[in-house]
């Protein structure tokens, strides 16, 4: 559909033309007319559909009337991450070129001073992460009663990151007469509740099921071993394919982002990393580098890479199968954008077979294996497939011992142990500065440098005895079985009791290694008297 039919102002139309947008995308064609009528809109759309312009263009048209006053912004866009907020600011810069509007970007990880100044001068548009917006509000630097248009973008990601209470707080402080444009890729019950409470008879527009991936993306599965070193080898092989121009490599955990990144760099790949614990300056610089091509590969976590709009990503590699099927669609959506060809390969270990099945079920589509065969039932059975996270383990966690870990050998134990210890820790984007608040359910976990370093050693080129000895001692210290004798020694200290006797059978192996254990040297068996 042509933009000219959507009721936008001439100024906006000429900006759209200058931006090179020829026809409106389906979400734009559906949402813009309602927004132009002043209706509240509930847009169910994911990134890559052009949804940003679907709220920016009507907003720009509306803001042509009137002027901003000091500390009283006229419109507010809430984004779950700093990157998304910055991305929307970029799009407004392009589309609002002729409008000369003041845009304040209120995100964490950067000083308050500049943001305060912008607000004092009077911002037409505030783009903010919820935590930082509330900080400004509570510091008295911002009044919310001049807001005419509120945009809540990526609401389901806000939910994942624990921002819903903040959004509710913000909504309650906005004028009742405002217009609300609300976007989410999925509609879980909590989001529906928010919509019911804060939107007024919204027009519901929906463009694509969350389960669908762009048809321009070629998807493949690659067999990978559970053991981390072998898994990284498979990844490198995939990355060396001829047509890989640049790629995002997704890991489920922050710690693995670091491990994979350092491993890739050691192997000569031009790589950068992106995860929620990085400071803002590094994140921005890394992203810039990836955008302008000075960084070819980006190892990233879901939270950090959510919704990144980098138009020409040739490949996405999933180092881990995402725990939540819908994350798969988001991840692979970083490639094949704006009608380009894209390629997404997912490493699948025998433990992750259930998770990949869940993704296939959600998409109602089988993803072909690169080798044409996939994993045999034996391989899967031997490794004991991880089920899809969730109840037993919490988000992002790994098995706490239910699944056999035998397939991996020693080298990936250290990181797994670290995950066991930390997987329940609430982390996010926001487990850092004051801006983006707590995340009850974020996928990232805390980095664990010690574990990461020990795993890293495993794929360093062997430099001789010294280094390999060290890494094996690291492995030993993280090996559960080797720590058992210590435990039983402790219990012995306090004297043996009934309970410990009962446990003797269990501890059998450890008890045996005391003294000579079961092994009786032959000379002791010899009779002292000559027969």
Please report, as ranges, the residues that interact with ligand AMP according to CB under 6 A.
Answer: 21, 24-25, 28, 47-53, 309, 311, 338
Tokens at 526, concatenated: 């010899």
Residue 219, strand partner residues: 344
Smallest gap from residue 39 Cβ to ligand AMP (A): 20
Nearest residue (CB) to ligand AMP, 87 versus 478: 87
3-class secondary structure for 377-395? HHHHHHHCCCCCCCCCCCC
Q: Cβ of residue 123: shortest distance to ligand AMP, in angstroms?
A: 21
Q: Considering beta carbons, is residue 50 or 73 the nearer one to ligand AMP?
A: 50
Structure tokens at 361: 């079920």
**Identity of the residue, 326 or 386, whose beta carbon is nearer to ligand AMP in the bound complex:** 326
Query: Please, what is the Cα angle at 514 between 510 and 518, to 5 degrees?
Result: 85
Q: For the chain, how are helix, strand and coil distributed in percent, rounded to 5?
A: 45, 15, 45
Shortest CB 8 distance to ligand AMP, Å? 12
**By C-beta, is 322 or 333 nearer to ligand AMP?**
333
CA gap 328, 244 in Å, rounded: 20
Residue 49 or 296 with smaller CB distance to ligand AMP: 49
* Euclidean distance between CA atoms 102 and 233, whole angstroms: 49
CA distances from 18 to 11, 95, 125 (A): 11, 8, 21
Q: Cβ 311 to ligand AMP, closest distance in Å? A: 5
Q: In the complex with ligand AMP, which residue's Cβ is closer, 18 or 489?
A: 18
- Minimum CB–partner distance for residue 310 and ligand AMP (Å): 9
| 3-class state of residue 222 by DSSP | strand
CB of 257 within 8 A of CB of 300?
A: yes
- What is the DSSP code (8-state) at residue 180? E
Task: Return the closest-CA partner of residue 203 out of 23, 27, 52.
Answer: 27
What are the backbone dihedrals phi and psi of residue 416, each rounded to the nearest 5 degrees, phi first? -65, -40
Shorter beta-carbon distance to ligand AMP: residue 13 or 72:
13
Closer Cβ to ligand AMP, 47 or 115, answer by number: 47
Instruction: Report the nearest approach of ligand AMP to the CB of residue 86 (Å).
Output: 13
Taking the complex as a whole, how short is the minimal distance between the CB of residue 21 and ligand AMP, in angstroms?
Answer: 4
**C-beta of 307: minimal distance to ligand AMP in Å?**
7
In whole angstroms, the minimum distance from the beta carbon of 357 to ligand AMP comes to 29
- Please tell me the distance from the alpha carbon of residue 174 to that of residue 130, in angstroms, as a whole number: 14
Contact predicate 178/150, CB 8 Å: yes
Minimum distance from CB of 51 to ligand AMP (Å)? 5
Let me know how many helices (H) and strands (E) the chain has, helices first.
22, 13
Smaller CB separation from ligand AMP, 250 or 319: 250
The torsion defined by the Cα of 191, 197, 203 and 206, in degrees rounded to 10, comes to: 0
Q: Which is nearer to ligand AMP, 307 or 350 (CB)?
A: 307
Q: Across the strands, what pairs with 316?
A: 248, 344
Residue 292 or residue 373: which is nearer to ligand AMP going by CB?
A: 292
88 near 51, Cβ under 8 Å?
Answer: no
CA torsion, points 438, 441, 444, 448, in degrees to nearest 10? Answer: 70
Q: Least Å distance between CB 467 and ligand AMP?
A: 46
303-320: b (≥16 Cβ within 10 Å) or e:
bbbbbbbbeebbbbbbbb
User: CA–CA separation, 158 vs 442, rounded Å?
Assistant: 10
Tokens of 102: 């003041």
Q: What is the spatial distance between Cα 75 and Cα 415, in angstroms, rounded to a whole number?
A: 45
The least distance separating ligand AMP from the CB of residue 131, rounded to whole angstroms, comes to 22
Closer residue to ligand AMP in complex, CB, 24/150 = 24
Comparison of 51 and 388: residue with beta carbon closer to ligand AMP:
51
Count CB-CB contacts under 10 A for residue 110.
18
Asked whether the CA dihedral 496, 502, 505, 506 is positive or negative, the reply is negative
In the complex, the smallest distance separating the C-beta of residue 250 from ligand AMP, rounded to whole angstroms, is 18
């Amino acid at each position: 559909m042509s933009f000219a039919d959507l009721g936008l102002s001439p100024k906006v139309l000429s900006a759209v033309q200058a931006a090179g947008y020829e026809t409106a995308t389906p979400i734009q064609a559906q949402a813009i007319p309602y927004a132009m009528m002043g209706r509240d809109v509930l847009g169910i759309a994911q990134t890559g559909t052009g949804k940003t312009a679907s709220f920016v263009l009507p907003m720009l048209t509306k803001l042509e009337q009137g002027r901003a006053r000091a500390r009283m912004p006229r419109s507010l866009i809430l984004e779950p991450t700093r990157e998304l907020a910055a991305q929307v600011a970029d799009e407004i810069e392009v589309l609002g070129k002729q409008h000369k509007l003041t845009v304040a970007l209120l995100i964490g990880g950067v000083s308050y001073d500049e943001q305060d100044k912008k607000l004092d001068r009077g911002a037409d548009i505030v783009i903010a992460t919820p935590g930082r917006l509330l900080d400004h509000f509570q510091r008295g630097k911002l009044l919310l009663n001049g807001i005419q248009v509120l945009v809540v973008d990526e609401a389901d990601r806000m939910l994942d990151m624990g921002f819903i209470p903040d959004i509710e707080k913000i909504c309650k402080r906005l004028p009742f007469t405002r217009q609300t444009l609300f976007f989410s890729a999925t509609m879980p019950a909590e989001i529906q509740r928010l919509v019911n409470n804060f939107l007024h008879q919204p027009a519901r527009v929906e463009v694509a099921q969350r389960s669908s991936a762009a048809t321009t993306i070629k998807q493949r599965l690659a067999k990978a071993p559970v053991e981390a070193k072998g898994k990284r080898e498979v990844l490198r092989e995939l990355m060396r394919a001829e047509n890989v121009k640049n790629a995002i490599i997704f890991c489920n955990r922050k710690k693995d982002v670091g491990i994979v990144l350092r491993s890739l760099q050691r192997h000569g790949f031009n790589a950068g990393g992106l995860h929620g614990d990085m400071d803002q300056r590094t994140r921005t610089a890394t992203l810039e580098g990836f955008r302008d091509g000075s960084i070819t590969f980006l190892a990233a976590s879901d939270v950090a890479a959510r919704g990144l709009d980098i138009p020409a990503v040739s490949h996405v590699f999933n180092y881990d199968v995402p725990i939540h099927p819908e994350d798969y669609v988001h991840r692979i959506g970083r490639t094949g954008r704006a009608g380009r060809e894209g390629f997404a390969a997912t490493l699948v270990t025998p433990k992750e077979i259930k998770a990949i099945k869940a993704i296939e079920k959600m998409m109602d589509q089988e993803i072909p294996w690169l080798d044409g065969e996939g994993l045999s039932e034996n391989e899967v059975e031997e490794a004991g497939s991880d089920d899809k996270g969730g109840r037993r383990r919490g988000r992002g966690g790994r098995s706490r011992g239910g699944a056999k870990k035998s397939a991996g050998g020693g080298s990936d134990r250290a990181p797994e142990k670290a995950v066991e210890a930390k997987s329940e820790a609430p982390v996010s984007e926001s487990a850092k500065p004051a801006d983006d608040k707590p995340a009850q359910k974020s996928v990232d976990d805390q980095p664990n440098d010690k574990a990461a370093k020990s795993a890293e050693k495993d794929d360093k080129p062997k430099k001789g005895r010294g280094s390999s000895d060290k890494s094996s001692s690291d492995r030993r210290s993280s090996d559960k079985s080797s720590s058992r004798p210590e435990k039983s020694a402790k219990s012995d200290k306090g004297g043996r009791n009934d309970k410990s006797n009962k446990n003797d059978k269990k501890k059998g192996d450890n008890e045996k290694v005391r003294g000579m254990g079961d092994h009786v040297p032959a000379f002791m068996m010899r009779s002292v008297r000559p027969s």
